[in-house]
Structure 1
Amino acid sequence: MTSASNEARPSGGSVKHAAAGNGTSPAIADELVEPLAPEQLAAEWDEERPPHAGPFANVAAAVAAAALGIAGLAMSVGMGLGSPEKPEPGLWPFIISLVMTAMSAALLVFGRKKLDAEAFSSSSWQVVAGVATLVGFVLVVGVAGFEIPTLLLTFVWLRFLGKETWRMSVVLSFAVTAAFYLIFVVALSVPIPHLF
């Protein structure tokens, strides 16, 4: 028993090489590789990470987000806030814009010396495309109802921004739209524009 176990246990090298040498399939050998230590994993992530944006980019991002939040506050008040018992259309946009403005102010004060932000790169255009399609959604939803814009927005985000397969994008787009309809229109009777 002892000699058999000693023969099975490699004297040196990694578990992967030992498994491959004993006739184990490559798929099983890959599963037997020991995971990286947290320090090694952090070092790998630092190597693959885009360059830091720097303090000027952090300030610019905070100012842009604050301006967007302030504009949202003004537009929300224009739509009417109502009360928590009887909310009007501007209440939730007001709350979200208020949180955005507060977080932008905190980033402006505390985030200038942080190096966590990434520099703009070609992948940053995906964020621009996401915001542009979201703005288009907001402009169209009042005219066409939320079902078709939600379906199209979800599909574009999944297929073109998230690189999902065509089938998965179509299925999830219909599922998300149906879930929103059931939750907000049927269950909660939220007064949002809808077709059905």
Structure 2
Amino acid sequence: MSIDAESLQAELAEDRPPHAGPWSQLGAAIVAGAIGIGGLVGSVALGLGQLTHPGPGLWPFVVSVVVTVLAVALALVGRHGTDTEKFSRASVLTAIAVLSLIVFAALLPTIGFEIPSLLLTFVWLRFLGKESWVSSVVITVVTVAAFYVLFVLLLQIPLPRLI
């Protein structure tokens, strides 16, 4: 029994959410552009330095330039694409993931590396990844311990810590 390409494509199309349309592409381009421009402003405020002596804002500046250029490209070309999907439960999960990263970044300087890392890893594994409770706890503890050993003990990176 052979499956032709047309029937396979039709079967795959049944599993996809409906197309969101060109306004969604434009909205995504505007959001990405705003993030890119915000990154550019923040990077310059950190200081770019020079190529021979880069400042703390140089690499965030480079990444922000790429994000901004891609946002402009999406605004110009992406409106004709048909690969966007309407918001669904998966969109909410993505928003939760982004929100958890924002909470992580806010907690890191105030209470240290350990607790926010444990919380972030556990939330992503258990609630976003649907792992079992036992698996989530074990992987979370091992992962954060490994990062602690690597970054704090071996590389001696001055992360904010509890101890």
TM-score range, shorter chain: 0.7 to 0.9
Where does structure 2 lack aligned partners over 5 or more consecutive residues? none
Distance 1:87 1:164 in 2: 41
Q: Equivalent residue for 1:127?
A: 94
Q: Select which of 138, 145, 152 maps to 1:171.
A: 138
Residues 1:103 and 1:122: Cα distance change in structure 2 (over 3 Å): same
SS in structure 2 at match of 1:123: helix
Distance 1:164 1:35 in 2: 36
Structure exhibiting the larger radius of gyration computed from Cα positions:
1
SS in structure 1 at match of 2:43: helix
Q: Equivalent residue for 2:127?
A: 160
Deviation, structure 1 residue 40: 4.4
Q: Mean Cα displacement is larger for which, 186-195 or 101-110? A: 186-195
Distance 1:85 1:184 in 2: 26
Q: Equivalent residue for 1:3?
A: none
Deviation, structure 1 residue 46: 0.7
Q: CA RMSD in A?
A: 2.6
Q: Percent identity?
A: 49
Deviation, structure 1 residue 39: 5.1
Structure 1 counterpart of 2:82, which letter? Answer: L
Deviation, structure 1 residue 148: 1.5
Residues 1:106 and 1:184: Cα distance change in structure 2 (over 3 Å): farther
TM-score (norm 1): 0.70
Structure with more contact order per residue of length (Cα contacts < 8 Å, sep ≥ 6) = 2
Structure 1 counterpart of 2:92, which letter? Answer: W
SS in structure 2 at match of 1:171: helix
Distance 1:140 1:35 in 2: 56
Distance 2:137 2:51 in 1: 36
Higher share in helix: 2
Residues 1:42 and 1:50: Cα distance change in structure 2 (over 3 Å): same
Deviation, structure 1 residue 188: 3.4
Q: Equivalent residue for 1:151?
A: 118
Q: Equivalent residue for 2:20?
A: 53
Deviation, structure 1 residue 146: 2.1
Where does structure 1 lack aligned partners over 5 or more consecutive residues? 1-33
Distance 2:53 2:162 in 1: 24
Is 1:69 paired with 2:32? no
TM-score (norm 2): 0.82
SS in structure 1 at match of 2:84: coil
Name the count of aligned residue pairs.
163
Q: Mean Cα displacement is larger for which, 80-89 or 180-189? A: 80-89
